[in-house]
Amino acid sequence: MNASARLDELIDRLHDLHKQQAEWVQLLQCTHELYVTLLEMLSTNAAQQVVSTAPRIAVIPPTTNPSAQQPTAPPQPTISPAATQSLKTSPLLQEINERIGIHEPSLNERLKPSATELADKLSHLPVADLRKAIGINDRFLFITELFHNDYQSYEQAIEALNVCKSWEEAWQWISKHLLPRYAWDANDTTVQTFYAVVKKRFSSK
């Protein structure tokens, strides 16, 4: 059986073992045989390239001098790290992965869970200054709908809430100074957004 037929046989066997949910030992053994076969094919291909590109050497008849240097055997072809790396990224290996259902995650896929986890953690961190926690659009919305276009009153409210030590203290200040003055509707979306931002200021306290 030539190397190509042996390779097809191993790929099919590994695919069948994967579908049958075989033991890891069987999968590992089959994968090892597949790896060895690929290395042999690569070594054979490298040897053929060495032979085809070898320069012609004149044949010198042996001398009768016993001290003459004996001819040395031609160097054996070796697999360079670059060749091994090319094997890992070769279309042949990619085809094998596709046939047995192996998916190598990309760098973005490996980093995506970490980035999502980091963003989730940062979203729960408290903010030291409400001014930095409120975006431009929300600030314009709060001033327009909650503070009746009174920018100075909005700034004074943010400054007072920044001084509060807890959400309970902030809520007491809102109930005493803002609710009676502006008659906010607790069910209003903008009001709820404003409360959520203020609560975030004390999320871990």
List pLDDT tens digits, range 6-34: 778 878 888 888 888 878 777 778 887 87
Length of the chain: 205
| Residue 96 is assigned to a structural domain of this protein | yes
Q: How many independent structural domains does the chain possess?
A: 2
Inter-helix orientation angle 24-53/81-88, to 10°: 130
pLDDT in tens, 34-63: 788 877 887 777 666 655 655 555 555 555
Single pTM value for the model: 0.41
Same domain? For 99 and 141 the reply is: no
| Residue 71 is assigned to a structural domain of this protein | no
Same domain? For 194 and 138 the reply is: yes
Same domain? For 2 and 100 the reply is: yes
CB neighbour list of residue 108: distance below 8 Å, 6 or more residues apart: none
More confidently predicted of 201 and 58: 201
| Residue 18 is assigned to a structural domain of this protein | yes
Same domain? For 38 and 92 the reply is: yes
Same domain? For 165 and 93 the reply is: no
| Residue 114 is assigned to a structural domain of this protein | no
| Residue 177 is assigned to a structural domain of this protein | yes
More confidently predicted of 118 and 205: 205
| Residue 109 is assigned to a structural domain of this protein | no
More confidently predicted of 135 and 25: 135
pLDDT at 75 over 80: no
| Residue 166 is assigned to a structural domain of this protein | yes
Average pLDDT over residues 176-188: 93
Per residue in 2-37, is it b (16+ CB within 10 Å) or e — as a string?
eeeebbeebbebbeebeeeeeeeeeeeebbebbeeb
Among the ranges given (20-34, 126-140, 152-166), the one the predictor scored with the smallest mean pLDDT: 20-34
Average pLDDT over residues 138-161: 95
Whether 150 and 143 have beta carbons less than 8 Å apart is answered as yes
- The whole domain housing 170 covers 130-200
Average pLDDT over residues 125-154: 89
Helices (H), ranges, 54-90: 81-88
Same domain? For 139 and 91 the reply is: no
Same domain? For 37 and 85 the reply is: yes
Same domain? For 6 and 92 the reply is: yes
pLDDT in tens, 85-132: 555 555 656 666 666 555 555 555 554 544 444 334 444 556 778 888
CA separation for the pair 161, 99 (Å, rounded) = 61
pLDDT at position 3 is 72
Question: Two tokens at 53?
Answer: 């590109």
